[in-house]
A and B are shown apart, each in its own frame.
Chain A
């Protein structure tokens, strides 16, 4: 049920006429739902801004939220949800801030108003609330994507341990995306530094399943193809048990319990051969 131009104009006038009462009633209801986590003054500022947005949209004869005159209202709503999402409010609490307008308007509505009018207005507000919900989810998703990307950048350093020996201390769960990044970075470092030995340290990997093992094996094989040898170190007792229980075969790839052991092993080999 959409808002007719006539109804929109009437509600715009109503919002204008009862500005103070409306904002006060609206702010009260929002404050109750948020249980004092935002100050009264802050809420008051937000609701009075939103009221202005609604009034502008309605006086521009907006039939729904996608109308030209509702552009500013849309901007305000998405700003509101962005802030709420970043401040850690839930999606419901954010949407209720908008829906509370319906109650507030019901309070100031005179006896002369028809039910039809109110239902039309109410569906307009619902649309606005849904819009907030959408923006809230979008902002949250952006946050998550950003964090995932940061994690990816942060957690895959390749360090030089010795002349001709580089190490990759893996920290955190290895999924396909991270494994790919680790593999590319390790191989590139091997080329850049001309190191014939690489140590992959999995002390910080909480669990090794067949998939993680597969990723590590692929990296080792790729390094071999390029002419570098990989040693896997930092295998904790539980991990060793899991590896055996899962029947994962590391073949002729050297595995060591600690990074120190791995380094000692590499140095012994280079000394023996280069001397």
Chain B
């Protein structure tokens, strides 16, 4: 059976799906990824679907499940590279892929993960307060 390779780049696991996402492949990927996150201790997962022509409800749900599993293992998931045609089809079908974060390409996906980590470690609200505080100091 075909498998989707999982590459480790720094603190991020990169999954580039180049084959048709059949049900078995999707489930296998889900298991493999969970294993790899635990084994490597990575805090980010990027799933590149730019080679996928078809994203159906099952694949959509699998992606959402992967995101949830990663979250439990303290890793953020970003789905990148969705084709316009795929996005239009999903919208027409009324599937909005809830719970999945997206970015246009791998680079923006990595930037997004970096921001997330930064925000998380500082704490969102605290950073906001800091911001207003500093700007107030500057203006006065």
Q: Is there an interface contact between A224 and B104, defined as CB atoms closer than 8 Å?
A: no
A184 and B105 alpha carbons, distance in the complex (Å): 18
B19 at the interface (CB under 8 A from A): no
Q: Which positions 87-107 of chain B face chain A at CB distance < 8 Å? A: 87-88, 90-92, 96-97, 101-105, 107
Q: Is there an interface contact between A227 and B104, defined as CB atoms closer than 8 Å?
A: yes
A161 and B88 alpha carbons, distance in the complex (Å): 24
Knowing A221-B91, A273-B115 touch, does A227 contact B108 (C-beta < 8 A)? yes
**Binary interface encoding of chain A residues 264-275 relative to chain B, with 1 for a CB under 8 A from any of its CBs, else 0:** 000000001110
B111 nearest in chain A by CB position: A274
Q: Is there an interface contact between A225 and B90, defined as CB atoms closer than 8 Å?
A: yes
Residue of B78, B80, B88, B101 near A184 (CB, 8 A) is B88
Measured CB to CB, the closest approach of chain A to B130, in angstroms, equals 12
Knowing A194-B104, A194-B107, A194-B108 touch, does A226 contact B84 (C-beta < 8 A)? yes
- Among B79, B84, B97, chain A packs the most CB atoms within 10 A around the CB of B84
- Give every chain B residue within 8 A of A187 (Cβ-Cβ): 84, 87-88
A18 and B108 alpha carbons, distance in the complex (Å): 84
B83 at the interface (CB under 8 A from A): yes
Residue of B91, B107, B111, B112 near A225 (CB, 8 A) is B91
Q: Is there an interface contact between B102 and A224, defined as CB atoms closer than 8 Å?
A: yes
Q: Is there an interface contact between B104 and A226, defined as CB atoms closer than 8 Å?
A: yes
A219 nearest in chain B by CB position: B91
A76 and B90 alpha carbons, distance in the complex (Å): 53
A53 at the interface (CB under 8 A from B): no
B131 at the interface (CB under 8 A from A): yes
B82 at the interface (CB under 8 A from A): yes
Q: Is there an interface contact between A188 and B103, defined as CB atoms closer than 8 Å?
A: no
- Give every chain A residue within 8 A of B131 (Cβ-Cβ): 272
- Give every chain A residue within 8 A of B88 (Cβ-Cβ): 183-184, 187, 222
B119 nearest in chain A by CB position: A273
- Give every chain B residue within 8 A of A191 (Cβ-Cβ): 83-84, 104-105
- Give every chain A residue within 8 A of B102 (Cβ-Cβ): 224-227
A228 at the interface (CB under 8 A from B): yes
**Binary interface encoding of chain A residues 218-259 relative to chain B, with 1 for a CB under 8 A from any of its CBs, else 0:** 100111111110000000000000000000000000000000
- Give every chain B residue within 8 A of A218 (Cβ-Cβ): 91-92
B131 nearest in chain A by CB position: A272
A184 and B83 alpha carbons, distance in the complex (Å): 10
A123 and B101 alpha carbons, distance in the complex (Å): 73
Measured CB to CB, the closest approach of chain A to B32, in angstroms, equals 24
**Binary interface encoding of chain A residues 52-79 relative to chain B, with 1 for a CB under 8 A from any of its CBs, else 0:** 0000000000000000000000000000
Measured CB to CB, the closest approach of chain B to A71, in angstroms, equals 47
**Binary interface encoding of chain A residues 179-218 relative to chain B, with 1 for a CB under 8 A from any of its CBs, else 0:** 0000110011011001110000000000000000000001
Q: Is there an interface contact between A222 and B103, defined as CB atoms closer than 8 Å?
A: no
Q: Is there an interface contact between B104 and A184, defined as CB atoms closer than 8 Å?
A: no
- Give every chain B residue within 8 A of A224 (Cβ-Cβ): 96, 102
A265 and B82 alpha carbons, distance in the complex (Å): 26
CB<8 Å pairs between A and B, sample of 17: A184-B84, A188-B84, A191-B83, A191-B104, A194-B104, A218-B92, A221-B96, A222-B87, A223-B87, A225-B87, A227-B78, A227-B104, A227-B108, A227-B109, A273-B115, A274-B111, A274-B115
* Additional A-B contact list (6), CB under 8 Å, known A183-B88, A227-B101: A222-B91, A225-B87, A226-B84, A227-B79, A227-B112, A274-B115
